[in-house]
Amino acid sequence: MTDMSMSPIGKPLLRREDQRFLTGAGQYTDDISLAGQTAGVFLRSPHAHARIRSIKLDRAREAPGVVAIFTGADLAEAKVGGLPCGWLINNKDGTPMKEPPHPALAQGKVRYVGDQVALVVAENAWQARDACELIEVDYEVLPAVADTATAAGAASLVHDDVPGNVCYDWGHGDKAAVDAAFGGAAHITKLSFVNNRLVPNAMEPRAAIASYTKHDDSYTLHVANQNPHVERLLMCAFVLGLPESKVRVIAPDVGGGFGSKIFLYAEDVALVWASKRVGRPIKWTAERSESFLSDAHGRDHVTTAEMAMDKDGNFLALKVATTANMGAYLSTFASCVPTILYATLLSGQYKTPAVYAEVKAVFTNTAPVDAYRGAGRPEATYLVERIVEQCAREMKLDPAEIRRRNFIKTFPYATPVGLTYDVGDYDATLTKAIKLADVAGFAARKAASAAKGKKRGLGYSCYIEACGIAPSNVAGALGARAGLFEAGEIRVHPTGTVTVFTGSHSHGQGHETTFAQVVAAKLGIPVENVEIVHGDTGRILFGMGTYGSRSLAVGGTAIVKAVDKVIAKGKKIAAHLLEASDTDIVFENGEFKVAGTDKKVPWGSVTLTAYVPHNYPLDKLEPGLNENAFYDPANFTFPAGSYVCEVEVDPRTGQVEICSFTAVDDFGNIVNPMIVEGQVHGGIAQGIGQALLENCVYDKQTGQLLSGSYMDYAMPRADDLPSFKVDTCATPCSHNPLGVKGCGEAGAIGAPPALINAITDALGVRDLPMPATPETVWRVAQGA
């Protein structure tokens, strides 16, 4: 056993990556300049839906500094493929979803404002932008479909070969069991709501530099991306038809992702293809207004939910109907977000015996919609926790009590929607949250608020999520077209220092610190002796990247498995040095020992021997100490928690003040509590953003984006938010060696219903749309 008091596991070590970020030495994609680099600018559609009659490039081609201009016709002629979707969803009748072509540059039609029409390459970005102004596109404007609720069956078709604009019509769960339970229910609670559309808004806009090397016919793409190996795989295998050995994808420092940098984007493909034609590197960096138009958006569901209960408030069945907006094209993982990542979470923390969900995915003339922090689980949690709170109100039960009455209490627990929760203790997190939030003192605070004409409310949210989506074979049976494992490599150097190569990617999560803590603890060496390398297909064996709060649970486990292989080989070397059997060798605190004796050899001697194999069993053991491992999880992990939000509403102005926000999460074991708390803070802020401020709005008639800048889209700022009270409980995950679950998305999943439950409690109303802006709250408070 490692001496845990010395172990860096569980310690709030400061982050090693901060030195470069704090001094301006970070290297984000736009900070990189390559010799001979040109600038790429995309001409984008000003129309939501139009037929392209013609594109005239003559004047633009003659503009100063222009190197080349490419359109969809060039890509079609070169037989460049469309962008693939990574998950097949089948309709209720067993037929496959509609997957219309998604060209990297528009061909024939544009389908949303911001759709790429041409790529202009010039000596600098101004010249490219100036040339864009000289391109004459003759558009035949067509009616736009821009409203989620009415897209299905709309007169206008986004894709001519997708009848009714329906991508798929999917069902999940036991409909007959649900119908039977509703027939025998004592009470049914029904809610309808919209899960508002959001723009992820990582602070670093998307950026890419594509370059081509003629002598070996190879490409390098620097790109702000969360999973460079997946980017390379999709681009090579499905779009450009290139061997992966000829394409290197580097995701350097990346300024936030939140899901939006998972995907293979049209710009990346067009730039890589064009870099060979141009023969020089091409850099493209999105302006923020471009990010609003062209980054994959999140959420955008319209839902009706009904809960059947017995007379005591026990849940009998949940019935859900959702329409989910896919946007104009299927983005990389768009199809699985409102299905596999949504309907499977509708049990929440409750033993509801039967659940049935129908999800209709629709195409609209809006930007593609895909995974955004939480991806399906925030939508599921908002539904479950809003209706559970409403159930409590209608049954005249305390909202904490109705939750406890229905909590799952024995594990493992197989839900009616296909997941098996391995561990959890929902009572414990709720009890701790109630204490931390001082719910006992709420009545007095409410009275004090009332005395000054304010309305105080309390809202709960007991979320569960599924992280580290797995295993690959099960996901494959459900339509996944990718593996869901992770890879790691441990390169031990002769002097005993270690370089770790991980397929996970950090874009703010602090992997360089957390992963070093894990490896240092396992090997009993100083954290400073462990270096973490990520984000480069040229250096890392493989990787599926970072999304779905999977990095430590899946990527960290791959690293642990590789460390175990290193230790196993180290034991053989030590056994030789100690003239013992390798089965008698134990590894403790950085020393190999013969069990039960005082004979031992330190880590550094074994590592040196591996590379200077003079006294070494060369006849039966290879020299060197370098191991890799792939890890495919046996199950998801299931972080869960209880959030309590207390608000004070001024009914005269609609202003909502968050008086306190309390979060108690169960992430299993925790490696670096400082980093975990930071992840929770950030998630809660995004959740509060969704509930109170953020809204991506398209004009329903024209499909124009109305919230296309930070002056129209309200990002949470420091004075919009309170300080948070956060704490944890731990039921360690049962199926990974670290006992960890994942913490990156919890806040964004758990926070919105806590907010809206608190405001509706304060106002004594049933319905309140997100975002609950002062105007919306005022109207609801006035009954207007």
- Which residues of this protein are in contact with other proteins, per CB under 8 A? 14-15, 17-28, 30-31, 33, 126, 201-205, 253-256, 258, 285, 287-289, 507-510, 674-675, 677-679, 681-686, 709-711, 715-719, 721, 723-724, 747
264, two tokens: 């293979």
Q: Give the torsion sign (CA, 397, 724, 426, 322).
A: positive
Give the nearest distance from C-beta 41 to other proteins in angstroms.
14
Instruction: Enumerate residues 6+ apart whose C-beta is below 8 A from 288.
Output: 205, 709, 710
**Contact 533/256 with Cβ under 8 angstroms?**
no
Asked if residue 632 lies in contact with residue 525, where contact means CB atoms within 8 angstroms, the answer is no
Give the Cα separation of 576 and 578 in Å (integer).
5
What is the closest distance, in whole angstroms, from the C-beta atom of residue 340 to other proteins in the complex? Answer: 26
Q: Which residue's structure tokens are 């939000």?
A: 645
Minimum CB–partner distance for residue 753 and other proteins (Å): 18
Query: Is 583 buried (19+), middle (13-18) or exposed (0-12) by CB count in 10 A?
Result: exposed
d(CA 485, CA 550): 10
In angstroms, what is the minimal distance from the CB of 767 to other proteins? 28
Own/partner long-range contacts of 775-781 (Cβ < 8 Å, ≥24 apart) = 775/654, 776/654, 777/649, 777/654, 777/655, 777/656, 778/651, 778/652, 778/653, 778/654, 779/654, 781/455, 781/649, 781/651, 781/654
Output phi, psi for 692, to 5 deg.
Answer: -115, -30
Q: How many CB atoms neighbour CB 192 within 10 A?
A: 11
Six-digit token string for 255: 């300024």
Nearer to other proteins, 144 or 670 (CB): 670
Least Å distance, CB 11 to other proteins, is 13
Element (H, E) at 685: helix 673-688
CB of 724 vs other proteins, minimal distance in Å:
6
Give me the least distance between CB of 325 and other proteins, in Å please.
Answer: 23
**Beta carbons of 556 and 738 less than 8 angstroms apart:** yes
State in angstroms the smallest separation of the CB of 702 from other proteins. Answer: 22
> Cβ 129 to other proteins, closest distance in Å?
11
Nearer to other proteins, 10 or 26 (CB): 26
Half-sphere CA count of 295, side-chain side, radius 13 A? 34
- Minimum CB separation of residue 488 from other proteins in Å reads 22
As a whole number of angstroms, the distance between CA 128 and CA 614 comes to: 62
Q: Measured from the CB of residue 546, what is the shortest distance to other proteins in angstroms?
A: 12
Contact by Cβ (8 Å): 437, 660? yes
Q: Are 702 and 112 in contact (CB under 8 A)?
A: no
Smallest separation (angstroms) from other proteins to the CB of 661: 10
Terminal CA-CA length for the chain: 66
Q: Which residue is it, tokens 């931390």?
A: 436
Nearer CB in complex with other proteins: 688/758: 688
Q: How far apart are CA 129 and CA 134, in angstroms?
A: 9
Smaller CB separation from other proteins, 132 or 402? 132
Nearer to other proteins, 511 or 593 (CB): 511
Copy the structure tokens of residue 268.
Answer: 């990346």
Shortest CB 443 distance to other proteins, Å: 27
Tokens of 478: 């459900």
CA atoms within a 13 Å half-sphere pointing along the CA-CB vector of 318: 34
Minimum distance between the CB of residue 554 and other proteins, rounded to whole angstroms?
Answer: 20
337 close to 218: Cβ distance less than 8 angstroms: no
Strand partners, 315: 309
Three-class DSSP labels, 61-80: HCCCCEEEEEEHHHHHHCCC
E strands along 82-135, which residues?
109-110, 116-122
* Nearest CB to other proteins, comparing residues 250 and 585: 250
Instruction: Give the residue with the Cβ less far from other proteins, 349 or 509.
Output: 509
Complex with other proteins: residue 399 or 689, whichever CB lies closer: 689
CB nearer other proteins, residue 408 or residue 693 = 693
* CA distance linking residue 94 with residue 88, whole number of Å: 11
- Which residue lies nearer to other proteins by CB, 477 or 711? 711
Q: Quote the least distance from Cβ 351 to other proteins, whole Å.
A: 33
Residue whose CB is less far from other proteins, 422 or 694: 694
Please report which residue ranges of 115-254 form alpha helices under DSSP H: 125-133, 148-151, 175-183, 228-234
Q: 580 or 680, CB closer to other proteins?
A: 680
- 39/423 with CB nearer other proteins: 39
Judged by CB, which is closer to other proteins: 260, or 415?
A: 260
Whichever of 27 and 156 has its CB closer to other proteins, that residue is 27
Query: Distance between CA 707 and CA 201 in Å, rounded?
Result: 12
